[in-house]
Structures are given as structure tokens and as C-alpha cells.
């Protein structure tokens, strides 16, 4: 009876990104990283809104935006301006925005 030898290896998320999207600094990888960060910002905003027990409509009213706009931001923060980010976090949620730049 022959036995099968397992030849697959476990890959890290970084290795998968390198293999599929290219190394850091390539256009496709940079796009993935930006999109991922935008999505993360949207999730953070949704989580903060839910912690404050606000509906999208209530948050929108606080910053003079429609519920559909809040929904778009939470689902894809990529078209979010800094002004709107500050409005949502500071006016709408009563929080503070912290931004860091890494070179």
C-alpha cells in the first residue's frame, strides 16, 4: 500500500500577497494596501457608530449627510475626504481623529 506524502506548505498572508499582488512598491500591491486601509477605516467608523448606539440615519443628521452616504463610507471609505472624516468622528461621534504619517 502506497502512502501519500504531503508536499503542500503553509503560506503566510504576506507571502500570498507577494505571490498574487506583487511585492510592496508595485502598483497592484500598492492599490491592494490602499483599498485594504480604506475598508478598515469604514469598519472602524461603523464600529464606533454602533458603540454610540446611533443609526446611520441619526449619524447622517448630526453631520448633514444622508444615510446612504454614511452607508457608502462604512462599506468603502476610499472616497472619504479628511473634512468629512473629521465631521463624522468629531461632530457625529464625539471622538478625535489621529493620523500618523510613516516615511
Residue 79 maps to which CATH number? 1.10.260.40
Instruction: Report yes or no on 1 lying in a domain.
Output: no
- Asked if residue 11 is part of any domain, the answer here is no
Q: How many domains, the chain?
A: 1
99 belongs to a structural domain: no
* pLDDT at res. 8: 64
Assess if residue 53 is contained within a domain.
yes
Instruction: Decide if 79 is inside a domain.
Output: yes
Predicted confidence at residue 64, as pLDDT, reads 97
Q: What is the pLDDT of residues 2-50, one digit of tens each?
A: 565 666 678 898 888 888 888 988 999 888 888 888 899 999 999 999 9
Burial string for 64-98 (b: 16+ CB within 10 Å, else e) reads ebeeebbebbbeebeebeeebbebbbeebbeeeee
User: Is 37 inside any structural domain?
Assistant: yes
Q: Which domain holds residue 57?
A: 16-92
Alpha helices (H) in 8-101, listed in sequence order: 13-21, 27-51, 56-62, 67-75, 82-86
Residues 6+ apart with CB under 8 A from 52: 93, 94
Say if 101 falls within a structural domain: no
* Predicted TM-score of the model (pTM): 0.76
Answer yes or no: is 71 within a domain: yes
Each residue's pLDDT tens digit, 61-94: 999 999 999 999 999 877 789 999 999 999 999 9
Query: In angstroms, what is the C-alpha Rg of the chain?
Result: 20
Amino acid at each position: 500500500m502506497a502512502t501519500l506524502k504531503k508536499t503542500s506548505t503553509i503560506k503566510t498572508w504576506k507571502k500570498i500577497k507577494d505571490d498574487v499582488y506583487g511585492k510592496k512598491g508595485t502598483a497592484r500591491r500598492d492599490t491592494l494596501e490602499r483599498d485594504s486601509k480604506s475598508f478598515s477605516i469604514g469598519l472602524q467608523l461603523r464600529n464606533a457608530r454602533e458603540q454610540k448606539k446611533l443609526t446611520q440615519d441619526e449619524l447622517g443628521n448630526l453631520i448633514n449627510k444622508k444615510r446612504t452616504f454614511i452607508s457608502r463610507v462604512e462599506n468603502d471609505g476610499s472616497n472619504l475626504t479628511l473634512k468629512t472624516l473629521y465631521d463624522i468622528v468629531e461632530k457625529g461621534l464625539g471622538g478625535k481623529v489621529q493620523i500618523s504619517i510613516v516615511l
